[in-house]
Structure 1
Amino acid sequence: MNRCLMTLCALCAWTLPLASAASSGGELLVGNKSDDTVWRLDLADGRRLGEAATAHGPHEIAVSPDGRVAVVSGYGGQQRPGSTLTRIDTASGKATGEIDLGAHARPHGMRFTPDGERLLVTTEASGALLVVDPVAGEVERVIGIGDGGGHMVALSRDGGVAYVSKIAAGSVVRVDLADGSTLERPAGAGAEGIELAPDGTVWVSNREAGTVTVHDPDTLEVLDTLESAGFPIRVAFTADGRHALVTNARAATLAVFDAASREPVATVALAEPEATYRETMLGRAALPIGVIAGPDGSRIYVAVSGGNEIAVIDRRTWRVVERWKTGNEPDALGIVAGHRDSD
């Protein structure tokens, strides 16, 4: 019997809108890990537009290519592993149910396929990469990637190959989605963040090593090693592909690299000197984690987990220009372009 059934009833509706209208520029989705919620913020000014409850421990957000669906991974807490995904319909502004992953606990990294019909999900507890039908709420395939803490996932532009970072193993895994074959090679100690550059190379942020390794997409050979001191935890690229963005959690900085030359461009300080930060996995600290680039290319958004805020960075000056309030322990970020007014 298929244990991966979608709950037919909705978990909750968005709260009443906190702003009557919003910019047509879109919405920033923020997963608040300690609150089990996703907040919707106006991309233009950070106004809170609504809130939805999620499964316990929302760690990552994936938005479908057409922007109609957002899925949130319920990683769970320290004592209670999660094994569900929350599905949110962005047009209606409502959570439409959960996808039960059964024995595959600790879901984390997620990516939609380019056609939006399938969702790739890493599950740390079962050492797998799942292929999920998000509409039917079913796990269609289970691809074993082995132990070692498979955490984040990136996808080739054609959707044929997935790449998974492994924190404990300090490695990266190449998964051929056609036949399920895998190739694993070393990256660096604490390999966590992962993303593909415009040229197809695979960039991995290695938090314990303090480096970003650049890998050949076919062989996973290390082509370059970039220094990014202070616990590099996520890597992303701007919409135009010019810049790589790396959050350094312990240093509380955003390191910016030229994607083509791989040379450093800027280091953005994310902590406020006089701020009082909450307790985090690194002690009482700012702890920036999630990073995402705005669709128009002008701004970068960083989830400052210890400060319960989003740091908004102007790409022209590489400075923090605004700070937006969030719920408790923001981490996961997603963008829905072309915002629809709240109902």
Structure 2
Amino acid sequence: MIRCLALVLAAASLLCGHARAAELLVGNKSANTVWRLSTDDGHRLGEFATGEGPHEIVVARGAGFALVSNYGAGSPGNTLSALDLANGKVRTIYLGEHGRPHGMRLLPGNTRAVVTTEASRRLLLVDVEAGRIEAAIDLGEGRGHMVALSKDGKTAYVTKIDAGTVSRIDLAQRRKTQEVAAGAGAEGVAVDAASGEVWVSNREAGTVTVHDPATLAIRHTIASPGFPIRVVFGADGRHALATNARAATLSVIDVATKKVVHTVPLAREGAEYRETMLGRAALPIGVIADPKRPRVYVAISGGDEIAVIDTKQWKVVDHWKTGREPDALGIVE
């Protein structure tokens, strides 16, 4: 099994006095690859071939694998790629009638995952080790896009861009219990580990909304102008980070005060960007915080690069080359 092999290799590495360097995984949507970059200096350590249009990545901490959703391009994708981080092999999980897989999260234990599928409008429960679908939960009208989990893994929260809503899914009962308006173009979603609050980035509204985890009632609305497309939390949980795709900025939000405390410019003056869904632009999308260094990484989709941000001064300090159209990011510790 993937997990057993990874544990054996990790133990051998420690006995020999060597620790595996941390890696940044980068999903390159137009190249159908995931690159492995060293978090020391961004040099490429290797790559995986995926299905068409790899959109999201989740990494199983300590289990030796990562999962990639293959959204497709001209035609809908219907697979996940399981990346064995120890031996570099790729296993394909087929989703059958459930096309356009997108948002994903691994459940506690790292053997099962939740996956949104836009084409079938379902939230799938997938047994990753067995490579089979356990359940397909009906999300109702609108296409579920991104998903986040409560800390205990019992509840999923799903955003719908077209409906501008966030839904609450009881995973034990396998049904949707609530759906409320968040804001126009609701897309990114993350759960604050400390409070359980659900944060949603609403790209058309230019806001980040903070929701009660039980009722989904909006507790706070925070302005984040310029098409906020993703929201995640920093490594210490003190800040929420929203990538503003049209403005090419990163909003740094103080979790306690619910106020933007820094706005980091991400477009390079004089840089040549290619055509994107927002025109010729930098188009920052994926964002992730390094758990061991004072850094945040942002995928600059229109520039085929990663912007490396120093969180001590909240400034871009480096750029690392990627494949074509980077989006999803993951950290391998």
TM bin (shorter chain): over 0.9
Instruction: Please say if residues 232 and 248 of structure 1, whose CA atoms lie closer than 8 Å, have aligned partners that are also in contact.
Output: yes
Matched residue count:
314
* Percent sequence identity over aligned pairs: 62
- How far residue 66 of structure 1 moved from its aligned partner, in angstroms, is 2.0
**Residues 103-252 of structure 1 mapped to structure 2, 5 A cutoff:** 103-182=97-176, 183-197=178-192, 198-252=194-248
Identify the match of residue 89 of structure 1 among 84, 88, 92: 84
Q: Secondary structure at the match of 1:250?
A: coil
- Aligned-residue Cα RMSD (Å) equals 1.1
What letter matches 1:142 in structure 2? A
For 2:156 and 2:184, locate their aligned partners in 1 and report how far apart those are by CA, in whole Å. Answer: 21
Give the whole-Å Cα distance in 2 for the aligned partners of 1:186 and 1:119: 26
- Give per-residue Cα distances to partners, 1:133-189, cap 9 Å, x unaligned: 111100011111123121000000000000001000000000011102311010000
1:231 deviation in Å? Answer: 0.2
Q: TM-score, normalised by structure 2?
A: 0.93
Q: Distance in 2 between matches of 1:152 and 1:239?
A: 20
Instruction: Single out whichever of 201-210 and 110-119 deviates more from structure 2.
Output: 110-119
Rounded to whole Å, the distance in 2 between the matches of 1:42 and 1:299 is 13
CA distance in 2, matches of 1:75, 1:117: 21
For the pair 1:102 / 2:96, whether they are aligned, the reply is yes
Unaligned runs of 5+ residues in structure 1 are 1-21, 338-343
Give 1:332's match in structure 2, choosing from 311, 328, 332: 328
Query: Displacement of 1:67 after TM fit?
Result: 4.5
Match for 2:32: what amino acid?
D
- Whether the aligned pair in 1 keeps the contact of 2:81 and 2:92 (CA below 8 Å) is yes
Question: In structure 2, how many angstroms separate the alpha carbons of the residues matched to 1:215 and 1:62?
Answer: 24
Aligned amino acid, residue 39 of structure 1: W
Distance, in Å, in 1 between the alignment partners of 2:24 and 2:35 is 8
Q: Distance in 1 between matches of 2:313 and 2:19?
A: 23
The residue matched to 1:233 in structure 2 has which SS? strand
Indicate if the aligned counterparts of 2:148 and 2:191 stay in contact, CA closer than 8 A. yes
Contact 2:61-2:332 within 8 A present in 1 as well: no
Report SS of the residue matched to 2:291. Answer: coil
The secondary structure found in structure 1 opposite 2:302 is helix
Give 1:25-44 correspondences, 5 Å limit: 25-44=21-40
Query: Partner of 2:5 in structure 1?
Result: none
User: Do residues 311 (structure 1) and 307 (structure 2) align?
Assistant: yes
For residue 306 of structure 1, give the secondary structure of its aligned residue in structure 2: coil
State the distance in 2 between where 1:275 and 1:23 align. Answer: 37
Name the counterpart of 1:5: none
Offset from partner CA, 1:30-75 (integer Å, 9 cap, x none): 0000000000000111010001110000000011132411111010
Distance 1:67 1:168 in 2: 35
Structure 2 unmatched ranges of 5 or more: 1-17
Separation of aligned partners in 2, 1:46 and 1:65? 21
TM-score by length of 1: 0.90
Match of 1:16 in 2: none
Determine the C-alpha separation between the residues in 2 that align with 1:48 and 1:26: 12
CA distance in 2, matches of 1:70, 1:146: 29
Match of 1:268 in 2: 264
Secondary structure of the structure 2 residue equivalent to 1:168: coil
| 1:28 counterpart letter in structure 2 | L
Displacement of 1:244: 0.3
Q: Is the 8 A contact 1:216 1:222 kept in 2?
A: yes
- What is the rounded CA distance, in whole Å, between the counterparts of 2:278 and 2:325 in structure 1? 13
1:11 aligned residue: none
SS at match of 2:96: coil
Query: What is the CA deviation profile of residues 216-247 of structure 1, one whole-angstrom value per residue up to 9, with x for unaligned ones?
Result: 00000000000000000000001210110000
Question: Could you tell me how far 1:328 is from its partner in structure 2?
Answer: 0.4
Q: For the residues of structure 1 that align with 2:31 and 2:274, how far apart are their CA atoms? A: 14
